[in-house]
Chain A
Amino acid sequence: MVTLDELADTSLLQKPSAEGFGLLERTASNYKSLDTFSLPKDRQYQQQFADIYFLRLTKIKPAVEEVASAAWEGTILGGETATKVDRVLDVRQGQLCWVAGTVYMDMPLKPSVLEDVSKDRWISAPTTVGHYYSENGGESIMLEDDSGRIRLVGAILKDYFLVTGCIIAVMGTENVNGEFEVIDLKFADLPPQPERWSLSKPSAADGASKKPKLKGEDVEMADVPAASRPSKKIALVSGLEFSGTDTSYAMELNLLLEFLLGEALDPSAQSELTHISRLIIAGNSIAKPSHDDATTTAAEKKPHKKYGYDSSSYNPLPSQLLDTFLSTLLPTLPITLLPGELDPANTSYPQQPIHPAMFPRSRSYTAAPVTAPEEAQQQQQQQKQPGWLDNVTNPWEGEVEGWRVLGTGGQNLDDICKYIDSDDRLGMMEAMCRWRCCAPTAPDTLWAYPFQEDEPFVMRECPHLYFVGCQPEFGTKVIEGPQGQMVRLILVPSFAATREIVLVDTETLDVSKVKITA
């Protein structure tokens, strides 16, 4: 309970005094962006998707088998010793064994390419169903590898989250129906976690090493001790959804801008805000275009003159607003921008960075474009100097203040939610980490690029911080791995829906949030 009287002599509720306010300085952000998910510029879409599954299986299977053999080696059940079977097809009826493979979920409402083909639908529309499972059941779980596929049954399957594409090992026997009765099941669990500062160096050392390279920055290196102050923060926000039509949260967006700029609030709070060293926007910065307004119907009557493009139906306002937001914030705060489902980037995972041409005012803060011949040499430079506005891929991996960070725009988690009749999104996030795959449902139900050589969704290294953007509500927890790995999971709520942003302390990885109401 706070009353007005208590606040009567707060510094800003008095006459302006002659003394000025000092300038505050924003803490430096120690940041390194990894290009784990960037695609080649000349990408082909002729390949088959099967290679993704194959690559994933070959990458994760050894880890799963290791876990499984540690758990099940020499297990004797009913007088029979469990034996390892290499391929799914080698499972013999009645024999107690364990085998690793990829899960495939056959669900009644799941879009199926075979169905599309049989019904002569050649253009696959984005799925409209809210979920793939059906209330009356009818789903079956299979385990497959490159040899074949076997149906899994057993009560234990209900205890775990399972989606298409995750790699598991199961122990059990094949019954007379040719189904595999699962007694126990194992995941790969968290991958090895790198040490903090494994890719970059803490600011003091970093400043020293950078010094020869950046002559112009010598002045600011003088205040390196200031950077070692205890609590730096990074701000996570998603779903800003700048809209041309919906202004219901425009004021909140304004307040958010003032808050991050540090213009709002009083001097003491402002000095707190200087510790926010980076803003990460996790997707959906631009709202879904509204189709119901009158302008579109009017436009339909008009004849399309140029290639069917009608410029009057295009509303540039959302991207202008986003550009203004970014360009106002950028002089004081570096920003990492992930694309999301609604953003002007490619649809399929991994989404590539939003093109800087979308931001005429902010683009001078982005990294310089790389032309093909100098790509190799520039890549080195670029890794040292990511753009001040770093428009990155979704999912994105990087190192912020020494912590390995993995973040997505939310589609991966949203798609998993369609498989599982549960609201436990944090649990699903955790499951993703334990599966060692940040987008298991790609390419089955989550559209993805047909990778041939590499499967980047496999988590090779365990992140310290894993966030998923554009979620219906906030959530966080810390999970631990068998080798003492600790992962901070964060569900970043959609700002348009919740008006909340998340602040992460970069020393403790503690999380706090700020709610903005207008």
Chain B
Amino acid sequence: MDKYNKFLAENVLTEDKVVTYRLLSRALQVHVNTAKQMLYDFHRSQNAKRPGAVHATYLVFGTKKDDDGPPAARNGGDVDVEMTSSAPEAEQPTTVVPTSTLSLVPEEQLEETLANYEEVTSIHVYSIGPHPTKDLALLVDAANEALSLDSSDYQKSLGPINNPRVRRRERQGPGLKAAAAATTAVNAPAKSAFPKTALAPASGKVKEEPKPAQSVQETAEKASSGPTRKAAPPSKRGAGSGIMQAFSKAATKQGQVKKAAESSQPAAPSGEESMQPLSDDGEDDEELPQPKPRSISGTKSKKQREEELRRMMEEEDEEDQASEEAETPLEEEPMEEDLPAPEPAKEQETEVVTSSSNGRRRGKRRVVRKKQIMDEQGYLVTIQEPGWESFSEDEPPPTTKPKTTSSAPAAQAGKPKKGGQKGGQGSIMSFFSKK
């Protein structure tokens, strides 16, 4: 019994706090009604020692004189009823609605409030505080404090009204904790999926195949065998370290993958250098097989884009290159999480090798092109459209890089070279800033 005196003395007198019955009930784990009595007792005993030491607010419930019966109708509460015109047969005497009023009053106004009541069915101390309560809205904080102490089993033990029928549904999906675990778990597959998509076309493309049909089949095979081997190490490491892995991966993957690929597949090294950027920033690949229109559109869009982007993305330009590289995997990850499986499969089949002779293989591959057009309202709209791009590149066995081959069409050779030098994860921004 003394516990509450101590608690209240500490909180109200020493710490200058307002304590509501709900807070007291939760803090001391007593029934709310007991807490109300405790507050009353403390208030009385303290004020007996020293008048005005603590101030209470009361919660009064009952029927008020003003709000009850005919006066309410006169005040306009229910007058509307009398004006019915559309259905005279339903005319009823004005319904008098019994109204109960719940008021929270500081002790200073308690007497005058009570005087307005016809009948009080319930009254108790709501809170006590060290100062007279001027603004009842300030009690909100005190009231909310009680809620923060709330626990799920509170209702059962201390809340006055219990409802045994309460139903909660069971979580069907993974819960919050499970979801958190899932995201870390997903990180790993996502990472392993990422190099897969980047490298899948690479390993396939550089393969020399005499017939298109066969090549498709074979590239698919190669691609699926290549990346899985390569992807294995990153996924293992990725499982351990969460999102940071994504950042380091971009850098480490290259060397590591190169090593692995070199030993296992002769095609991989050159493929990685030439193809990986292409598959990433496909915006400079074009769908027309003829070099001429391609180069025209290329230069035009190059100029345009440079200008527009400088205007539009000034802030992004300011960001340093390093962060760009780090950003890329981050941005792509969510997408990968959604469809890790179908994506690589799609990319594997996007190439048709038409001819392969004296060290060059030519063909078309499927790329996603970004096109920027100005719409009717003068807005620049970037649209992505899939298209076919012709390519011609080195045979895999000679390990010379594409840029060294002079026979390649200028534009064709130039582009992969740029990408290749830049590094594995060429983001779209680094493409523009280079030029």
Residue positions of A touching B, CB distance < 8 A: 1-4, 6-7, 10, 12-17, 20-21, 23-26, 28-29, 159-161, 187, 217, 219-220, 247-248, 250-251, 254-255, 258-259, 261-270, 273-274, 303, 305, 324, 328, 330-334, 364-369, 385, 387-388, 422-427, 430-431, 434, 473-480, 500, 511-518
Contact = CB atoms under 8 A, between A and B. Distances in A.
A219 B162 CA distance: 14
B122 A474 contact: no
B406 interface: no
B62 A2 contact: yes
A220 B169 contact: no
The size class of the interface chain B forms with chain A is 35 or more
A367 B169 contact: yes
User: Main secondary structure on chain B at its contact with chain A?
Assistant: mixed
B290 interface: no
Given A6-B120, A426-B80, 20 more contacts: A2-B114, A7-B120, A10-B123, A14-B40, A15-B40, A16-B1, A26-B161, A29-B165, A251-B137, A251-B140, A262-B159, A264-B124, A264-B126, A273-B161, A330-B166, A424-B80, A424-B85, A426-B81, A475-B77, A516-B102
B342 to A, nearest CB: 21
B140 A250 contact: yes
Given A24-B162, A25-B164, A476-B97, A251 B139 contact: yes
B115 to A, nearest CB: 6
Contact of B167 (A13, A388, A518): A388
Contacts of B377: none
A364 B171 contact: yes
B104 interface: yes
A248 B121 contact: no
A20 B137 contact: no
Interface of B: 1, 4, 21-22, 25, 31-34, 36-38, 40-41, 59, 61-62, 64-65, 67, 76-78, 80-81, 83-87, 89-90, 92, 95, 97-104, 110-111, 114-115, 117-126, 136-137, 139-140, 143-144, 147, 150, 152, 155, 159-172, 315
A269 B137 CA distance: 25
A12 B165 contact: no
A251 B89 contact: no
A217 B169 contact: no
Contacts of A161: 85-86
Contacts of B126: 264
Contacts of B85: 159-161, 424, 427
A4 B97 contact: no
Contact of A474 (B41, B77, B123, B147): B77
27 contacts: A3-B114, A13-B124, A16-B1, A16-B37, A20-B31, A247-B140, A263-B22, A264-B61, A266-B124, A268-B122, A331-B155, A332-B166, A365-B168, A368-B169, A387-B169, A424-B85, A427-B84, A473-B76, A475-B78, A477-B84, A480-B89, A511-B97, A512-B98, A515-B99, A516-B102, A516-B103, A518-B139
A334 B41 CA distance: 35
A517 B103 CA distance: 5
